[in-house]
Amino acid sequence: MSYRSGFISIIGRPNVGKSTLLNHLLGQKVSIISDKPQTTRNRIVGVKTLPEGQMVFFDTPGIHKAKSKLNQRMVQTALGSLQEVDLIFFMVEPDPEPGEGDRFIAEHLRQIETPKILIINKIDLVKKDRLIPLLSYYSEMGQFSEIFPVSALTGENLDRLIPTALSYLPEGEPFFPEDLVTDQPVRFLAAEVIREKVFQKTHEEIPYAVAVHIDTFKEEEEKNLITIQATLFVERDSQKGILIGQKGQMLKEIGKQAREELEALLGTRIFMELWVKVKKGWSKDEAFLTEMGY
């Protein structure tokens, strides 16, 4: 059997489970997960290497009608990636009928020739007969090569999805070494893990107002130690107060949880220091967004 390798974009509305799916397919965490929409701000590249082929995944920011400069960039990133890949996973939830957001994405997909697999996620939460109207709606569109109901959380039906997806990829050599799971530098993963802890520990506008910049990332192999110093940028003084918390407790807890997770991920000791700075209107500042890699 010939070896296949290619690129797969995972797209869908914010919060449909794209990052959960990617982490489950890879068997480890490369993309941050939160119950708040628009968690993913950059394309995360995950690599799954099998004896018969290699699948390179983009986990894109959720596609939505964007108002802010930051969100517009996120949506451009997601739509731009569709021209570069060999296969598209379009992920939806098992609603009785597609919402405005899903229809918006489906219309965009009509203009793209790339093969598409529709993935209906979270089927562990609904009775199977509730899927019938949704299946018939998307079947009538006639643009999906396959339709897969799955649960990204429990892994239901993912064992069938992998060989099916591979069959759509072109024959060719692997793009990455077989032991690589993501091409993101470790300092990027560190920033993402810190941001995830902010999402988990804070509420309302705080998570969306935070950008993480890694100021220092120093590896000392002989000591089995990585030193990470990072600045968390927020837009207002009130957000800074919430993020630091009483007597610095909130920031301390965010740092502790991020450090523990990174130590487990990287198998090394980590010394972490976090600071919070106010940068008014950073999410609308084009130069700052570029500097931060968005």
Q: Do 192 and 133 share a structural domain? A: no
Contact 214, 230 (CB under 8 A): yes
Q: Do 218 and 137 share a structural domain? A: no
**179 domain-assigned:** no
**180 domain-assigned:** no
Q: Which residue has the higher pLDDT, 250 or 95?
A: 250
Predicted confidence band of residue 96 (pLDDT cuts 50, 70, 90): confident
Q: Give per-residue pLDDT as tens, 75-84.
A: 666 566 576 7
**57 domain-assigned:** yes
Q: What percent of the chain has pLDDT over 90?
A: 22
Q: Do 209 and 163 share a structural domain? A: no
- Rounded to whole angstroms, the Cα distance separating 9 from 187 reads 23
CATH of the domain at 285: 3.30.300.20
Weakest-pLDDT range from 24-38, 96-110, 138-152, 256-270:
24-38
Q: Do 97 and 195 share a structural domain? A: no
Q: Do 120 and 79 share a structural domain? A: yes
Q: Do 258 and 121 share a structural domain? A: no
Point out the domain boundary residue: 111, 137, 167: 167
Predicted confidence band of residue 248 (pLDDT cuts 50, 70, 90): very high
Number of domains in the chain: 2
**54 domain-assigned:** yes
pLDDT, average across residues 251-278: 87
Q: Give pLDDT, residue 32.
A: 47
- Rounded to whole angstroms, the Cα distance separating 22 from 45 reads 9
Q: Do 202 and 94 share a structural domain? A: no
Q: What are the start-end ranges of the E strands in 108-256?
A: 116-120, 146-149, 211-220, 225-234
CATH of the domain at 151: 3.40.50.300
- Rounded to whole angstroms, the Cα distance separating 152 from 22 reads 8
In the three-class reduction of DSSP (H, G, I as helix; E, B as strand; rest coil), residue 13 is classed as coil
Q: Do 135 and 195 share a structural domain? A: no
Point out the domain boundary residue: 132, 167, 202: 167
* Ramachandran angles phi, psi of 207, nearest 5°: -55, -35
Give the residue numbers spanning the domain of 143.
4-167
**66 domain-assigned:** yes
Q: Give pLDDT, residue 133.
A: 81
Q: Give pLDDT, residue 2.
A: 87
Q: Give per-residue pLDDT as tens, 54-65.
A: 998 876 655 556
Q: Do 204 and 160 share a structural domain? A: no
Q: Which residue has the higher pLDDT, 110 or 181?
A: 110
Q: Do 231 and 108 share a structural domain? A: no
**CA 290 remoteness from chain centre:** 19
Q: Which residue has the higher pLDDT, 203 or 86?
A: 86
Q: Do 127 and 214 share a structural domain? A: no
